[in-house]
Amino acid sequence: MSEKQTNHRKSGLSFEVFPPKKDEEFENVYQILRDLGALCPDFISCTYGAGGSRAGKTIEITSFIQKELQIDAVAHITCVGFTKKDLAENCAALREAGVTHVLALRGDRPQTMTDEQYDRREFHYASDLVRYLKEHTDLIISGACYPEKHFEAPSFEEDLRHLKEKVDAGVSSLISQMFFDNDFFYRFLDRAAAIGIHVPVHAGIMPITTAKQLGTTVSLSGSTVPKKLADLIATYGDDKEDMRKAGIAYAVEQIRDLQEHGVDGIHIYSMNKVKTTTDIYHML
C-alpha cells in the first residue's frame, strides 16, 4: 500500500485498531498488536479520538507498529475543530515517531462545538486537510470513502464528486466504510472508476459477533443490514458462542467473495479483538 519498503510478507488483509479508553488497558494493546502483526497484514491503522482527546495515543500505537513490528502503520488524523497550528504540531509528532502514512479525515462535529465555532473552522472537509498535508509534509495520504454514500451527502453523485476532489488533492488510496452487502461495494467501485477515481480501495469489513454490536455499528455507520445478516442475529443472537461463529462465517463469506472479485485489499475493523480476527485469518 505505501511506497515504503517493509520486509514482512503481505496478506492482502489490513486491520484497524483503536487506542483503549483507559490508561490501565493500554499495556494490553501492545500484545494485541503483536498478535495481529503475526498475521502479516499489509498495514495496521489506528483511529483518532473525536476532538483529538487521545491523539498522543494514536501516535504511540502507530509508532510501535512501524518501529517495533516493522509493519506499515497508518495514523488516522481528523481536522474538524483543529487549527493549522494544531495540525503542524501533530504532523511534527508523527514525524518524530517515525510514522509516515496517515488516513486524512474530516471527523464528526464534537458535541461541545458551537455553531459559530463550527462555521469558523479552518478545515471544512477532508480534502482541505489533504491539500494542507500535501503542501506542508511528505506524508503518504489515504482517505475514507462510503460505498452507501456518506450520511450528510444529498446524493450519491455529489458524494462521489467530492471524493474525486479529495483523491485529486493527493490521496493515494482509500479505505471504505463498512458494508454488509458486497453489491454496494461493487457498484461503488464501478461508479468511482467511471468518474476517474483509480486509486486502490480497501474494502472495510466489520465482523459482527454480538447482536448488540450490530445495533451500535449500524447507528454509527448507517450501513444497510441485509436480510441474511438480520436472520443470523435472530437465530443466534441469544447464544454468545454461536453468534460469534455465525458472525465470523458471515465475514469470511463476504471476504472470499470480495477476493474472488479481485478487490485491492480487505480492511478488517478488528475492534482490538484478536481471537475474532485470527479466526477469520485462518478460515481464509
Known catalytic residues are: 16
CB nearer to ligand FAD: pick between 243 and 277: 277
41 near ligand FAD, judged by CB under 6 A? no
Site for ligand FAD (CB under 6 A): how many residues?
Answer: 23
| Vertex 47: Cα angle to 41 and 48 (nearest 5) | 150
Shortest Cβ 155–ligand FAD spacing (Å):
9
48 near ligand FAD, judged by CB under 6 A? yes
106 near ligand FAD, judged by CB under 6 A? yes
61 near ligand FAD, judged by CB under 6 A? no
* Cβ-count burial 259-282 (b if 16+ within 10 Å, e if not): eeeebbbbbbbbbbbbebbebbbe
Indicate which single residue of 144, 229, 232, 280 sits in contact with ligand FAD (rule: CB under 6 A): 144
131 near ligand FAD, judged by CB under 6 A? no
Inter-helix orientation angle 26-37/274-283, to 10°: 10
| Vertex 65: Cα angle to 61 and 69 (nearest 5) | 145
Segment lying near ligand FAD (by CB under 6 A), choices 60-68, 99-107, 243-251, 272-280: 99-107
94 near ligand FAD, judged by CB under 6 A? no
* Cβ-count burial 76-103 (b if 16+ within 10 Å, e if not): bbbbbbbeeeebeebbebbeebebbbbb
Instruction: Scan residues 146-185 and list those touching ligand FAD (CB under 6 A).
Output: 150, 152-153, 159, 162, 166, 175, 177
Helix/strand/coil for 41:
coil
Segment lying near ligand FAD (by CB under 6 A), choices 35-43, 60-68, 120-128, 245-253: 120-128
244, 247, 248, 250: CA torsion to nearest 10? 160
Q: Are 138 and 95 in contact (CB under 8 A)?
A: no
Indicate which single residue of 81, 204, 207, 265 sits in contact with ligand FAD (rule: CB under 6 A): 204
Q: Are 249 and 276 in contact (CB under 8 A)?
A: no
Segment lying near ligand FAD (by CB under 6 A), choices 47-55, 84-92, 185-193, 274-282: 47-55
Write the CA distances from 105 to 27, 75, 131, integer angstroms: 27, 11, 12
CB 16: neighbour CB atoms within 10 A? 23
Indicate which single residue of 26, 30, 125, 186 sits in contact with ligand FAD (rule: CB under 6 A): 125
Instruction: Scan residues 69-88 and list those touching ligand FAD (CB under 6 A).
Output: 76, 78
Chain residues binding ligand FAD by CB under 6 A are 47-48, 50, 76, 78, 103, 105-108, 125-127, 144, 150, 152-153, 159, 162, 166, 175, 177, 204
